[in-house]
Structure 1
Amino acid sequence: MQDLLNDIAGKMKLATERGEVANYIPQLAHVDPQQFGIAVATPDGQVFAAGDAREPFSIQSISKVFALTLALGKQGDSLWQYVGREPSGDPFNSIVQLEHESGKPRNPFINAGAIAVVDAIMMGHEPKEVLAELLSFVRFLANDDRLYFDHEVAASELEHKHRNASLAHFMKAFGRLHHDVDKVIGTYFHQCAVAMNCVQLAQAGLFLVSDGVNQVTGTRVVSAQRARRINSLMMMCGHYDGSGEFAFRVGLPGKSGVGGGILAIAPARASIAVWSPGLDNIGNSLLGTRALEMLVQETGWSVFGH
């Protein structure tokens, strides 16, 4: 496995086409697109890593997986009153569908859906308390207390909040949000600004590899059924309007973020994190996707069989 990751990282270093960094969030626009990291964590506690796998980056929308897990723990299946479970086929920040569907977002991984999930987690609490809970939850999943919020990234997103604020106000107009829009949006931006490296991210995903149990720490995070359902949502909706293409090429449940990270789950096998800041035209890591495709071709880990 280590040789395979070294080989993939070596190939990615030589890649000439690297995509474009997310320039609409100024802090992300400064990130060096030459970087590439990959890490694989297995249920027996082994971690393999190559490239810039210990360089922290802004996980952005990958945080939506952890927020969804937390929200389901608090709300159970009543969460689905507020957010759907269908692929969107539209860009992650589209407002069009919301209008057609009375302000109910299509799934928890597009921005509108993630904002609805944050609203569900808040349960009358202030953003500070909610964020403290979220960070301690992700630290618990990764078994690493060094994770932190990148406040510069959060501030950078707040300065360019209008699109997401529009989504939130729109949902509020339909009676879908229960908290103050500015508080929900502020919480959402901080959630997206969690900084982690590939090793930490791969470890945080381990509970989804083994039916809801992180076998390394011996803790059950969610029920087996819930873990399967989170994986199925990642498979269908984790890459926005590129989810079908990702399933076709990689064949694993995955969640991307515009920081260039992707968390992918090979059930019963491993949790994989890749990071390369250059994005394709849909907003998914160009080299990250390519690296996962190579990894799956070599290991046969696709959920669709060998």
Structure 2
Amino acid sequence: MKNTYEQVGLQAIAVNVLRPAPAHLMTAYEAAEAVVDMSASVAVARHLALDVESPARRLSLFLNPSGTDLVLLAEPQDRAVRLDHLEMEYYRALVRQPTLEHHLFKRGQPIRYSHGCRDVSVQLPQDQVALHAAIGARAVRTAVAESGSRIKIWRAQPDLTVIAHEIEVFPYVEMRVGSWTVAVSQQLLREISKQRQERLPNETGGVLVGVFDTQHRRLYIVDHISSPTDSQEWPTAYYRGVEGVPEELTRISECTGRQVVYVGEWHSHPDRCSVRPSEDDKELFAYLQHERLTDGLPAVMAIAGEHGTTGWYVADIAAGAEHRLPI
């Protein structure tokens, strides 16, 4: 860092940031303009985003498993979209953009370098690493100089030319539901509301996929699977089909490095109806609770209503939260 950014007087602090922070590390956090995570660790990035008290914006810079792609996640200066939110936006881009579908796939001969968890790595050419190091150094400078958020992926081609992918970032809404905090992008809420509107007067629905962070008791809704073709839709009822759902869930899990998984169900209610659960909804939720017990995860159900209102229910049907999205 000292040679890269031409600064003097930099002090190295050799500590494990996931352990209780010593006083001098907390002082460094509080004085920092930006905190840059280069650990390639989900645990570290979320710790910096959620657990560290500091006005500094957070950034993550890392290579994909095969070393072909460099990824930058940069919070805005006001931290209105946090690093953990940017992680979810990054996953959704991998799910939705065909050019990025194999981004997290491993290539090359795996090397086991110890006998611990996740100890399999690959060898990377030095010229490829040096190329991304140069891009990353400039990318961090640029991101810190700008006030907005950014997600960008640089992909090196075999001839070492580089193609950049800029990913749009959307604001997030967070709500407390029971003992969990649910985080979902406003764009995804708009998409669910639009799908509901298009299928009126019938109800519709689909599958929710996302990330459970059990340590922080947070649930991130990353994307949704639209109503399968074999679903049954009526003005006062909806039965979600299964056509293509297992295959799509497998694809989503694989292209996100098994980070994004099945979360729960969503369906819509007609106009002039609340987003509180009906008796049929309560029966469905009880079934979901029973099924999720084996995974040790909560049941999740969302109900979309008119005027952009969505009711969220996690684990306990009595602990619901409504979010009204202006449309």
Larger strand percent: 2
Looking at CA atoms only, which structure, 1 or 2, has the larger radius of gyration? 2
